[in-house]
Amino acid sequence: MYYFFYKDFRYCEYGDLFKIIKQNETGINECTVANIIKQILSAVSYMHAANIINRDLRLENILVQSKETKTVNQNEVDLYNIRIGDFKCARSFKNSKKLNKKVGNPYYIAPEVLKRRYTEKCDIWSCGIIMYILLCGKPPYCGCSEKEVLEMIERPDFKLEFLGNKKNS
């Protein structure tokens, strides 16, 4: 059914983005993140144009096929060529119909999915979470349990904690 996503399997020697972020716990370079997010959004746009919703975009499902290092503004920058994998939660959708099945990883799930009334735009939420984690090295919603994380996602008063907002000691 989703053959066009699977026809180009290649060995991904660098693993997934989760492995990359574990090696860079404070986040990765903005140029690298911009390159990755551009590729992810391009793939998501392609899926949505084909009326397919992923519903489980996360670092563990984004594979790094290759890497090259380039010099940008006199700095060495890693540029990754990525592939999106694991379409077990994917399904087709109709533009006029809201979906109601709660699926996805708690750290990446959109509030609309928790309310069980969502569209393909929940994939865009997941892209934002991925970008945040890549830049900061940690998810925006953390908790001791899955329940705590989900409660934080549903809260309307959430404040992002960027590295630039930290007080200098």
| Residue 54 DSSP class | -
Position 168 in a domain: no
8 carries an active-site annotation: no
Of residues 130, 112, 160, the one with CA closest to residue 43: 130
Per-residue pLDDT band at 10 (split at 50, 70, 90): low
- How many other CB atoms are there within 10 angstroms of residue 32's CB atom? 22
- What type of residue sits at position 43? A
91, part of any domain: yes
Tokens of 34: 């911009």
| DSSP labels, 103-164 | -S-TTT--HHHHTT-B-TTHHHHHHHHHHHHHHHSS-SS--SSHHHHHHHHH-TT-----GG
Residue in 8, 16, 56, 78 annotated catalytic = 56
Residue 26: per-residue pLDDT:
83
Assigned domain for 2 exists: no
Domain count, the chain: 1
Residue 123 has pLDDT above 50, yes or no: yes
Question: Is residue 4 situated within a structural domain?
Answer: no
